[in-house]
Amino acid sequence: RHGLLPSMIETTTLIYAAGFLGMLFGIPPCLRLLGREDEGRHYGVLLVIPGFAALMYLLMTLGIGEMAFQGYDVPITRYIDWLVTTPVLVGYAAYVAGMGRGAVWGLAGADALMILFGTAALALSPPTQWMAFALSAFCHLALLVALYGPVRQAALDRLPARRRLARLLINHVGLLWIAYPIVWVFGPGLQVVSSVGIAVMITYMDVVAKVPYVYFVYRASETMAEEAASETATAPAGPEEAVALSP
Ligand code: RET
């Protein structure tokens, strides 16, 4: 190594350390949300998003989980992070939009399958690797169809602040995530971009996928609570009250 960096420190170590620090920024809004409620539910699950990712980035910084697949370096901790946190990102967006329990779990499950097939694609060698990739991409497509179909539709029936948050989360997930399979093709797939280059891109994308997401929820939480409270305060006003109030 002839770069400016001390030869004892790997470039990826610095990148993953930056990712770890980035993820820490997502923790304070999640902790503040612990003191609030959303329609009687607590926000606890959101802490998993930056919390688990920070832990996995810490392990990557320490070089734990670094593996070689077809001679290409990939930290398996990245896939463990995705397996745990991306179902929460998708499932929570669907929950905000007002989807039922079954649909939320169904989407989270399809997401987990996407990551598992992606992990299989890493482990397999060329011809079959692309079959696993295709299965993963199919799951991704199914998620996009669901997000821009029934999930967006469900959001239309929500109160304004909640509807706005649901749309924002749908678009944040729907648009940014498209970059992941593309990056994968040039990285572990065709191996035309070095694993260091991929580490830079993925770390940046992971922080952007997670930290703003929890801030969006945090920012909307107060207005959502207010609008829900004023809704329940006015909702019981039936025809009798309407008559009593009319001149
Ligand atoms: C893989 C490879 C196989 C094809 C597809 C993939 C999609 C991955 C995605 C990952 C999203 C990760 C996020 C992380 C946040 O920190 C597994 C790369 C479709 C969409 C949002």
pLDDT at 5: 60
pLDDT at 242: 47
**What is the best residue among 78, 140, 202 to mutate for testing ligand 1's pocket, by most ligand atoms within 8 Å of CB?**
140
Mean pLDDT of 19-44: 94
Separation of CA 227 and ligand 1 centre (Å): 35
pTM here? 0.91
206 CA: nearest ligand 1 atom: 16
Query: CA gyration radius for the chain?
Result: 21
Highest mean pLDDT among 37-51, 173-187, 225-239 belongs to: 173-187
Separation of CA 132 and ligand 1 centre (Å): 13
Local confidence band at 232 (pLDDT 50, 70, 90 cut-offs) = confident
Locate 26 and state its tokens.
């997502």
Mean pLDDT of 103-129: 97
Half-sphere exposure for 185 (CA within 13 Å, toward CB):
8
What one-character-per-residue DSSP string does 51-71 give? HHHHHHHHHHHTTTTEEEETT
Q: Which phi and psi (to 5°) does residue 84 adopt?
A: -85, -45
Q: What is the pLDDT of residues 125-163, one digit of tens each?
A: 989 999 999 999 999 999 999 999 999 999 999 999 999
Axis crossing angle, helix 76-96 with helix 48-61, rounded to the nearest 10: 170
Separation of CA 66 and ligand 1 centre (Å): 18
pLDDT at 9: 79
